[in-house]
């Protein structure tokens, strides 16, 4: 199918579906009050309209067969294992081998890095929770 034919088909499909989409939104789910036969006829018409709309959708986008779906599933599983897996493994190895893991520098921190608006709520309020050397100094000062 040529590009021009594909565009024409897409436009005609969009033009045909536009009124149906609007009509679908206005479909009543409950028949109007009337005699039992009229209500039953309206319900049947609504069901037929929904079935016709569903058939039109299915004709525009046909589903794949069960075997095609499984084939596509395994294609993506293989892509995930054989492409994404090595990328992740090499990334982790690169990070362990090349990248430096920066730790906090030893010694006292510059003054601007220790500004607190209030003390911590534990016994040594100036010490970080996992700063063991500060905790030892604080407890030594209190004893």
Please report the DSSP string for 20-60 in residue order: HHHHHHT--SSPPSS-HHHHHHHHHHHHHHHHHHHHHHHHH
Cα dihedral angle (127, 132, 136, 141), rounded to 10 degrees?
-10
Residue-level pLDDT at 86: 94
Which is more confident, 132 or 109? Answer: 132
Closest CA to 16 of 45, 42, 43, 53: 53
Where does the pLDDT of residue 119 fall: very low under 50, low under 70, confident under 90, or very high at 90 and above?
A: confident
Read off the pLDDT of residues 72-107 as tens digits, 9 standing for 90 and up. Answer: 999 999 999 999 999 999 999 998 888 777 777 787
Q: Give the N- to C-terminal CA distance of the chain in Å, as an integer.
A: 89
Read off the pLDDT of residues 10-69 as tens digits, 9 standing for 90 and up. Answer: 666 555 555 555 555 555 566 677 788 888 898 899 999 999 998 888 888 877 888 999
CB half-sphere exposure, 99, CA atoms < 13 A: 10
**What is d(CA 52, CA 45) in angstroms, rounded to the nearest whole number?**
10
Using alpha carbons only, give the angle 57, 70, 1 rounded to the nearest 5 degrees. Answer: 45
Contact 89, 96 (CB under 8 A): no
Using alpha carbons only, give the angle 41, 42, 48 rounded to the nearest 5 degrees. Answer: 90
Which is more confident, 9 or 39? Answer: 39
Dig out the tokens for 65 from the structure. Answer: 């067969």
Contact 46, 28 (CB under 8 A): yes
């Amino acid at each position: 199918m040529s590009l021009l034919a594909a565009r024409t088909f897409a436009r005609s499909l969009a033009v045909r579906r536009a009124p149906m989409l609007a009509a679908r939104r206005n479909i009543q789910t409950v028949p109007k009050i009337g005699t039992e036969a009229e209500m039953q006829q309206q319900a049947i018409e609504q069901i037929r309209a929904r079935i016709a709309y569903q058939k039109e959708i299915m004709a525009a986008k046909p589903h794949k067969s069960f075997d095609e779906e499984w084939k596509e599933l395994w294609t993506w599983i293989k892509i995930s294992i054989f492409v994404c897996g090595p990328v992740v493994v090499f990334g982790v190895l690169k990070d362990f081998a090349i990248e430096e893991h920066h730790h906090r520098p030893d010694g006292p921190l510059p003054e601007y890095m220790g500004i607190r608006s209030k003390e911590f709520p534990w016994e040594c309020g100036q010490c970080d929770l996992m700063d063991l050397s500060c905790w030892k100094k604080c407890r030594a000062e209190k004893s």
